[in-house]
Chains A and B, each alone.
Chain A
């Protein structure tokens, strides 16, 4: 009986641990939920961004709620205002763990617009 209880305990600990944290360190910035729940976003954010980018660039329909700029505005680190600056930055940490190349930020700015404007104000 004690053995079964012990086994159960060992069996439960990893699952509890897995639901409570990610296997990598992640700075979610201001965070919060504005589009969909986090699990849905983890799986589908790229579809939203791709859809939004074509609508915005080619038709001029700028849906502010799902634009990359708005994502960065909330998810940039509160320390350095960036989603790409460090290994545990919001975009970098996950993409590195999943080994998915992230090339949005070869052209797009990875820092908060509000911070960029403040820094570049004359």
Chain B
């Protein structure tokens, strides 16, 4: 009798062990891959420093990475969504050419938020300016208000979205600074994809972060600083 029981115990032990081994990695990955249940902190302010000296004319790796990450078509028609675009500018008097990516500047005082009639356009506590598509009625006031032309309207039905990036017809959208990646502790897709490391992403409020340290020593500009929007995206060498 006792022998039978021992066999049974041994069997139960091994099968439990096998089950734990089979399930544990999945559970761990599942827990790690998701963000915190706590609201994001207002002490953080996410931003980017874009070094235009490192940004190569003709290179659009950041645009491609953004399109892939967020499921954009990559088209450049007025009716296609573009969250980030490359622009080339030239100083006529000197002939100096500069290449830079332009996207939502994640302002501290965003005009898009001021004009939104449904409070769909909002700034998250950590400084990321987003569209709450549950509230957006597609009026496009924010697109008119934005000095950077950073937002797009979705004209056609969308299928097979990235499960992390819901997008839909009839709403306005724009660069979310890859908020789903930030909440998982990753960097935005454009910053990780840049072959010349021209995009430095980090916390502007943390004096020890690489971006804050670099901002302390190099000259940087905000695009349309005259509007006093205090943008989260800064440019170096502009």
Contacts and interface: CB of A to CB of B under 8 A. Distances in A.
A77 to B, nearest CB: 16
B40 interface: yes
A37 interface: no
Nearest to B180: A62
A7 interface: no
B166 A58 contact: no
A67 B168 CA distance: 18
A107 B164 contact: no
Interface residues of B, number: 31
A113 B171 CA distance: 23
Interface string B160-184: 1111101111010000000100010
A71 to B, nearest CB: 11
Helix, strand, loop or mixed for chain B's interface?
loop
B139 interface: no
Contacts of A55: 39
A91 interface: no
Interface in A74-93: none
Interface size class of A (residues with CB under 8 A): 20 to 34
B161 A63 contact: no
A53 interface: yes
Given A57-B130, A60-B39, A109 B125 contact: no
A61 B40 CA distance: 7
Interface string B136-177: 000000000000000000000110111110111101000000
Contacts of A118: none
A113 B133 contact: no
B168 A107 contact: yes
Interface string A43-70: 0000000000111011111111001010
